[in-house]
Structure 1
Amino acid sequence: MNFIDLFSGAGGLSEGFIKAGFNPIAHVEMDTHACNTLETRLIYHKLKAENKLDHYYNYLNNKTSREKFISVFGDMLLSKSVLNVSIGGKNNDDIFRKIDELSGDKGIDLVIGGPPCQAYSLVGRARDKDGMKNDPRNYLYKEYAKFLKNYDPTVFVFENVIGLITADEGKYFKNMKAYFKRIGYELDYTIQNSADFGVLQKRKRIILIGWRKNSNFNYPKFSKVNKSWKVQDLLTDLKKLKPGEQNHITKYEKASTDYLNKFELRNGVDFVTQHIARPHNERDLEIYKIAVNKWLKKEERLKYPDLPERLKTHKNEKSFVDRYKVVDPNGYSHTMVAHIAKDGHHYIYPDTKQIRSLSVREAARIQSFPDDFYFEGGRSAAFRQIGNAVPPLMAKEIALEISKAL
C-alpha cells in the first residue's frame, strides 16, 4: 500500500509506516535539514533491502562524504520523492505534478501527516496575545484536505496535539471534522498516549483517522503494551558524557538492555552516533545539580522561587516557574518538544555524576528512534527534528492496526 507523508518533519510517522510494510511515494516538508534526514533514511531502507548496510555505516563513520553517499547510493526517484517545499498556495500544483510522476499508475492508498501544532498547542496559545486565533496555521487542515481530494486515498491519518480539541472553544476541531466529512470521509479520533505503545514518554496526541465513505473500514482498537519499562532502561549502555562533549561516534559502554532489544532501538553494530551533549555555563550546571538532587532524593521538581538568590536572574517568580526539569529515570519521561533545540533546561539528565542536559541520542531514544536513525543538520537541528516528531514505535503500531483494518 502506497502512502504520502505531509508535513513530514524528520519522518517519525513515516518510519513507523515503512516498518509496518507500507511503501512511501513522497514526503513533503519545508525544513531543509529534515528533508536531508528523510533522504538519508530512505537510502538506509534501500541499502537494508539490498543487504548493503555496510555502505550506510561507512557514511555514519565519516568514511564516505554526504555528496558521494547521495550520488552513489541514492537514485533519482528516491531523491525526487523528498519535496523540500511548503504546502499551500501555488506550490500545491507543483507538488501534485511531482507526486503524480512518482506514483505513476500505482495510486495513493494512504495519506499521513500532522500540520505544525503551534497554533493549536496550549503553550502556543498562552504565549500569543491573540491566543493564536489569527495564525494561518489554524487552517492548514484545508491544505491537507486538498491532497485527499486530489488523490482520493482509502484512509488518512491526521496526528496533532490535544489542544486542537479546545482551540477557539472547539470551533477549529468541529470545522475540521465537518470539512473532512464534506469531501467524502467518515472519521473518528482517540487521544493516545505514546507510553501505551512502548515509548518511554508521556506524550498525548490526537490520532484522527478518516476513511472513504462506503469503504469497509472501522477505527482500529489499539492494544496497550507492558508498562514495566523505565527511562533508565534507555540510558545505561551509553557512554558517560561531560557538558559540551562532541564525540560524533562513541562505543557502547555496557550490554544492551531487554527494552532496547525488544523494541529494536540498538541496531546490532558496536557504535552509536550523535551521543553529543550541549555546553552549559557554571550557573546552569549549579542549578541542574540542585534540580537533580531534589528529584532523585525526594521526587520533587525544582521551582524557580526555590533557587538561592545568587542564582536568580529576574524577579518574576510566577511565570514559567518549572523551567528546570529532570527526566525521571524510574518512570517515563515528560513530553519531548522542539524547545529542547534552544536549551536543555527542561530535559536534565538524571544523574549527579553527569550534570548536563540530554544528548541528541538520548532524546532520540526517548522518542523511540532507533540508534541507526541519523539526523542531519547539526545538534540544534537534530534536537528540533526529534522534538517535533511522532515516535516511530507509536507510528508502527498505528500502521499495523490500519493494515489489519484494511
Structure 2
Amino acid sequence: MGSRYRVVDLFAGPGGLAEGFSSLRNENGERVFEIALSVEMESNAFATLRLRSFFRQFEQAPPEYYDYIAGRISKDEMISIHAAEWRAAEAETMQLKLGTAEAQEALDPILDELRCQAENTVLIGGPPCQAYSIVGRNKNRSLEGYDPNQDERHFLYKEYIRIIDRLQPTAFVMENVKGILSSKVGGHGIFERILDDLKRAGGADGYELFPLVRDGRGGSFLIRSEDYGVPQRRHRVIVVGIRKGSRVKDMEALPGLVPVIRKATVSDVLEGLPEVRSGLSPERDDSSHGWQNAVAAGCRKAIASCLEADKSLEPVAEVLCETLQKIESQAPRFERHSKSITGARDNELAAWLSDPRLDSLANHETRGHMAPDLARYVFVSAFGTAFGRSPKSSEFPSGLAPMHKNWSTGNYADRFRVQVWGQPSTTVTSHISKDGHAYIHPDPEQCRSLTVREAARLQTFPDNYLFEGTGRTAQFTQVGNAVPPLLARRIAEALLERLGAR
C-alpha cells in the first residue's frame, strides 16, 4: 500500500481543489489524500463546503442526501438521520477569515495536532485573487487613493506561508490567477517575491518548487485547463512545492501534466441537458407564452437588423429565420428549470460528472433577462451557429447596439459573448453572478445565459455537487471562483508521482 496524506485546504471556496484531491484512491480503494481540514470565510461557499464534507463521510452517500438535493426533505431532516457524519463534517470545516488574530488562535492548535499526528501532510489552496487579477487591478486603479502597498489582499499569501511554517507539510499546492505573473507592488513583481518566500518556508530545509507544465525552457507554472480535459479555457498559476529531503522521484525524469489528445468542448458537457428558457423582467408576461412571444419579437428585430447591415450577416439571418420558424410553429415547450438527469457526451467527462444514484438535477434554473437583450442574445447565438465563434461589438448590426457610451470604443468588444458548441468555453469567472451577457447559451432557441449547473459542468463539478446559498448570485460566485475539480485531480496525480507514492 502506498503512502497516504492528510490534507489542509485553505481559502477553500466551495471545495474544488479538495474534490479533486480526495477523488484519488489506492489499490485498496482508500483515499490517498484524506481531507483533514478545509477553511473558508464566505458563508455561502462555506455552506457548500461543509455539505460536501458531509458527502465524503460516506463510502456511498445515503438516500437522504439525494432526497435533500431533490428538495424532498430539509437539511435538518437529513442531519437528524446522520448526526454523527454531520458532526464529522463540522470538525473538518472551519469558517474563518484567514490572516486575522481570531483565525490564528482557532487554527494553530489544529495545525499543531496534525503536525504531531500525521507523518505526511499536504497543504492546498490559494489566497484571494482580486488584487492580482488584471480586471481587479484595473478596477483598483480607478479607486481614489488606492495604494497597492496597503491592500491586504496582496499579502494574504503570507498567511499561507505562515501556515507552511506551522504545519511543516510534505508538500503544498498554491493556486492563483494568471494576473499574478505580472502584478507588481512597489515596482517589483509580486510573483518572484512569493516564489522566494515559498522556497524559504518551513525552516532550515525549505522547499523545492517545480512547475507542472514542461516546455522547452524547463517548465511553466501557468496551466491551461483546456489542455488537461477541462472544457474551459481557464489559465491559472499552480506552484507545487515538496519539502527538501522528502522521498521523491527524479523531477527531471517526470513529464509533468500530460496534455489530452482531444480538447473537451462545450457540447461535451452541455448538449443534451434539459432545455430551459430564461425569465423575463418583472413588468413583462413571464409565462411560457409570454416568453415565446418576446423571443419571437427579438428574432424578428435581429433579422431586420442583419438584413439592414452588409451581406456578411446573411448567414446569421438564415439561422435566425430558422429559429423564428421553430419558435412560432410549436406550442411553448420550455420551462425555467428542469431536474431531469442527462449525461455528458464525452466518455471520461460523463464518468466524472454523472452519478447513477442521482435522480434530480440541482441548480439548473435560469435567471431573468431584460426584453431588449433577448434580440442581442438570439443574434449572438445565431452568429455562433453560423460562424463557430462569438461576434465582436464591431460586428453587431447598429439596430442591436446597446445604448452604452463605450460600446464603439472596443473596450466592450466581448460584452455579449456566446459559448460555442465545438470549443472549450471561455473562463467562467465570478462575474457570471452579475449578468449572463458573457455566458450566452449556444442554442438560439433557448435564448438565454447559462444556468449554475451548466457553469458547474464547465468547471467539472460532479452533478451530485449541490451549491448552497441564498439565490443564484451566490451560487454563480462560488462556481466562478473555484478550481475545476478534474484539473485538481490531475494536479494530485502529478504530485503523487513526484512523491514516489505510486
What is the alpha-carbon distance in structure 2 between the residues aligned to residue 194 and residue 255 of structure 1?
21
Judging changes above 3 Å, is the alpha-carbon distance between structure 1 residues 39 and 108 closer, same or farther for their aligned structure 2 residues? farther
Q: 1:370-381, aligned counterparts within 5 Å?
A: 370-377=462-469, 378-381=471-474
Q: CA RMSD in A?
A: 2.2
Q: Deviations over 1:222-253 (max 9, x none)?
A: 11123253211211221110103553x5113x
What is the alpha-carbon distance in structure 1 between the residues aligned to residue 398 and residue 151 of structure 2?
39
What is the alpha-carbon distance in structure 2 between the residues aligned to residue 71 and residue 137 of structure 1?
39
Aligned residue among 258, 267, 273 for 1:223: 258
Which residue of 2 is the match for residue 164 of structure 1? 180
Verify the 8 A CA contact 1:124 1:132 in the aligned structure 2. no
Aligned residue among 51, 72, 76 for 1:67: 76
Q: Does 1:291 align with 2:387?
A: no
TM-score normalised by length of structure 2: 0.75
Shift in Å, 1:170: 5.5
Q: Does 1:187 align with 2:187?
A: no
Aligned residue among 278, 286, 298 for 1:243: 278
Verify the 8 A CA contact 2:111 2:167 in the aligned structure 1. no
Q: 1:340-359, aligned counterparts within 5 Å?
A: 340-359=432-451
Which residue of 2 is the match for residue 15 of structure 1? 19
Which residue of 2 is the match for residue 214 of structure 1? 245
Q: Does 1:147 align with 2:147?
A: no
Shift in Å, 1:153: 0.3
Aligned residue-pair number: 402
TM-score normalised by length of structure 1: 0.92
What is the alpha-carbon distance in structure 2 between the residues aligned to residue 212 and residue 104 of structure 1?
17
Q: Does 1:276 align with 2:365?
A: yes
Q: Does 1:233 align with 2:277?
A: no
Classify the secondary structure of the residue corresponding to 1:239: coil
Q: 1:75-86, aligned counterparts within 5 Å?
A: 75-86=86-97
Shift in Å, 1:52: 4.4
Judging changes above 3 Å, is the alpha-carbon distance between structure 1 residues 84 and 367 closer, same or farther for their aligned structure 2 residues? same
What is the alpha-carbon distance in structure 2 between the residues aligned to residue 108 and residue 116 of structure 1?
26
What is the alpha-carbon distance in structure 1 between the residues aligned to residue 347 and residue 430 of structure 2?
25
Shift in Å, 1:255: 6.0
Higher mean alpha-carbon deviation, 212-221 vs 238-247, is at 212-221
Letter of the aligned partner of 1:128 in structure 2? N
Letter of the aligned partner of 1:405 in structure 2? R
Q: Unmatched 5+ residue regions in structure 1? A: none
Verify the 8 A CA contact 1:229 1:259 in the aligned structure 2. no
Higher mean alpha-carbon deviation, 106-115 vs 361-370, is at 106-115
Q: Does 1:196 align with 2:285?
A: no
What is the alpha-carbon distance in structure 2 between the residues aligned to residue 307 and residue 266 of structure 1?
41
What is the alpha-carbon distance in structure 2 between the residues aligned to residue 113 and residue 202 of structure 1?
20
Q: Deviations over 1:58-82 (max 9, x none)?
A: 1112222112323432332321221
Classify the secondary structure of the residue corresponding to 2:488: helix
Shift in Å, 1:133: 5.3
Letter of the aligned partner of 1:381 in structure 2? A
Classify the secondary structure of the residue corresponding to 1:334: coil
Which residue of 1 is the match for residue 300 of structure 2? none
Higher mean alpha-carbon deviation, 351-360 vs 178-187, is at 178-187
Classify the secondary structure of the residue corresponding to 1:55: helix
